[in-house]
A and B are shown apart, each in its own frame.
Chain A
Amino acid sequence: MSHFVTSKDIPTNGEHLDKGKLALPKMVTGGIAAIGLIGSIAFFLFGSGSAHGSYAFSWLFALFFVLTITFGGCFFTLLHNLSNSGWGTSVRRLMENLGFVFPFMILFAIPLLFHDVQQYLWEWMTMFRETVGDSKNASEALMHSADPHNHLLAKKTFYLSPGFWHFRFFFYFIGLGGVIWLLRKLSIAQDTEKDPGVENLFKARSYSSWGMIIFGVSMTFLAIDWVMALDFSWFSTMFGVYVFAGSALSSMAVLILTSVILQRMGYLKKVVTPEHHHIMGKLMFAFTVFWAYVSFSQFFLYWYANIPEETRYFILRNTGNWNVLSLCLVFLHFGLPFLLLLRSDVKKKPGFLIFISCYILFVHLADVYHMIIPERGPSVGLVVDHQAQLWLNGSFFGDIIALVIVVSGFLFFYLRNLGSAALYPHRDPRILESANLTN
């Protein structure tokens, strides 16, 4: 321990990001996001043809990538409160800021409410609307329709019905968004309270108990509603855990990146040490392994049992060039980061952490791409010219455009959150314990 941090080292009013430095990046990202969002909405409303459908998938891909990261922010905040942790008090505000991007993302989820977008993404909605119409009993109507594909949907009408789907859509943003808003509010209130004690901490812990349940439900069912339902005939009980593993991993990468970059800019110098980065690196390592464990379990059971309606997801992804991506994920999403993160000393080196966090984010992007995009060829092909395809030429540009727009939006709100409060809870009773961490 080079220097023992005492309360004299903690500024009375906390560390704040320099508003002047933030103005330009906020303007750029906010501008791209706003123009992009409006342009995309216009395209979704008035466009047509295969580019239209293809861009709907690009949008879902970009949005879901960002959502997984914000989910992880919510998760680590809840976990930190719930487990009564002391180590991470100095980085807890970063987790709260990252999680609090989630409720704002509803802006970027607006296009998913358009019928024109839904018809490409979720075939079951079209089937439901066309077949059921005004009929009272949806299940009966689907069962007795001429198209045998509808029978698969008939048994799922309780869950897969447009009304319930839209209810859940808003529930996720209001429910989980409300939880993270509440926790961040409690934490920030402590910064300025006259008599800061443990009251807010205890409150945050008790809120986190049921908050964690809302988180689990929201994350799992959002993944099921938006991604698993791209092919409504497929089902996997492992899917929510799979998405969770990726989101915890990628959000830890973002948290490490943020804290290292903030330190390079001269913030958090007193309270965040290589020991914190070591712990965060260990969490990233743990979730690398967890991701591999869960994704392999999911694949393995379906591959072994080999039952037609269960293997659709993997057959599509193991066909043609998609198989290359699947195999790459095994070695690049698990093998390489596993070996790189194995040594303990590298997890304390900021330079290496920047590299590995960017790398993890990149492979996570590939993972989300692998979850969503293979469904695009068949779906858009069927809607536009009744011809299922594996790959739509030129659709890649849409992915990049959507990604730039949504990630800009994410960065804008993340910077806004970082700038709107102190960078760490400087009046938390355990801030000194955290600053003097050894592990």
Chain B
Amino acid sequence: MSTRVSRVYGYLAEFNNASQLYKAAEKVRDAGFKKWDCFSPYPIHGLDDAMGIKRSILPYFVFLGGLTGFCTAFILAYSTQVGLYPTIVHGKPANIFTTAAFFPVMFELTILFSGFTTLFGLLGLMGLPRWNHPLFASKQFSRATDDKFFIAIEARDAKFSAEETKALLAEIGGANIELVEDDSK
């Protein structure tokens, strides 16, 4: 063995089905952990509440993104078509009442900017893209995409303790409890 020092990522515990995971998640939540996550092969309704996850702040970003798109489109169309180079089409006025003609552009840019904000905001908040995740070091974890359910509690969490956290996971029904080490470096 080498002298390499690896950082502990946290504990990983395996559960057999969704309802076990759900009940275990409620207990981990009630124990006051903040930095932990559930892994399941498919989405489980109501797991957000069981995990005590707060609403994301993403919608506010999207609203601001959409508003930016809306204003950009209006300023772009209005300043060019009415201000800089008034374009007369079908004898229609080039003034504030021309705005009706800009609505499609305003609509499109609102959608486009909110779409971009959603995508990039989401990636940013989730910390994606990334090359690797410490949990991939665990052999059993690959079954999270097949037939097993997992809870991982990170060592970064203020409440984490090598003994008590392990005991908690065992108590709430976790099997194959494994201390995962961050081997990425």
Using a CB–CB distance below 8 Å, which chain A residues touch chain B? 1, 296, 299-300, 303-304, 306, 342, 344, 438
B103 contacts A306, C-beta separation under 8 Å = no
B100 contacts A300, C-beta separation under 8 Å = yes
A306 contacts B90, C-beta separation under 8 Å = yes
Closest 10 CB pairs of A and B: A306-B90, A438-B46, A438-B45, A303-B100, A1-B46, A296-B103, A300-B100, A300-B103, A1-B49, A342-B63
Which one, B49, B59, B92, B100, contacts A299 given CB within 8 A? B100
- Minimum C-beta distance from A113 to chain B (A): 40
Per-residue 0/1 for B89-105: is the Cβ within 8 Å of any A Cβ (1 yes, 0 no)?
Answer: 01110000000110110
- Minimum C-beta distance from B65 to chain A (A): 13
Inter-chain residue pair count (beta carbon < 8 A): 17
| Complex: chain A residue closest to B90, CB-CB | A306
- Minimum C-beta distance from B45 to chain A (A): 5
- Minimum C-beta distance from B63 to chain A (A): 7
* Dominant secondary structure at the B interface: helix
B103 contacts A304, C-beta separation under 8 Å = no
CB-CB under 8 A from A300, the residues of chain B are 100, 103-104
A304 contacts B90, C-beta separation under 8 Å = yes
CB-CB under 8 A from A299, the residues of chain B are 100
CB-CB under 8 A from B49, the residues of chain A are 1
**Distance of A1 Cα from B49 Cα, bound (Å):** 8
CB-CB under 8 A from B92, the residues of chain A are 306
| Complex: chain B residue closest to A345, CB-CB | B55
CB-CB under 8 A from B90, the residues of chain A are 304, 306
B45 contacts A304, C-beta separation under 8 Å = no
| Complex: chain B residue closest to A343, CB-CB | B59
A-B contact pairs, 15 of them (CB 8 A): A1-B46, A296-B103, A299-B100, A300-B103, A300-B104, A303-B100, A304-B90, A304-B101, A306-B90, A306-B91, A306-B92, A342-B63, A344-B59, A438-B45, A438-B46
- 11 further A-B contacts with Cβ under 8 Å, apart from A296-B103, A306-B90, A306-B91, are A1-B46, A1-B49, A299-B100, A300-B100, A300-B103, A300-B104, A304-B90, A304-B101, A344-B59, A438-B45, A438-B46
- Minimum C-beta distance from A430 to chain B (A): 16
**Distance of A344 Cα from B55 Cα, bound (Å):** 10
CB-CB under 8 A from B104, the residues of chain A are 300
CB-CB under 8 A from A1, the residues of chain B are 46, 49
- Minimum C-beta distance from A435 to chain B (A): 14
**Distance of A304 Cα from B59 Cα, bound (Å):** 35
Taking CB atoms and an 8 Å cut-off, the chain B residues in 47-105 that contact chain A are 49, 59, 63, 90-92, 100-101, 103-104
Per-residue 0/1 for B112-145: is the Cβ within 8 Å of any A Cβ (1 yes, 0 no)?
Answer: 0000000000000000000000000000000000
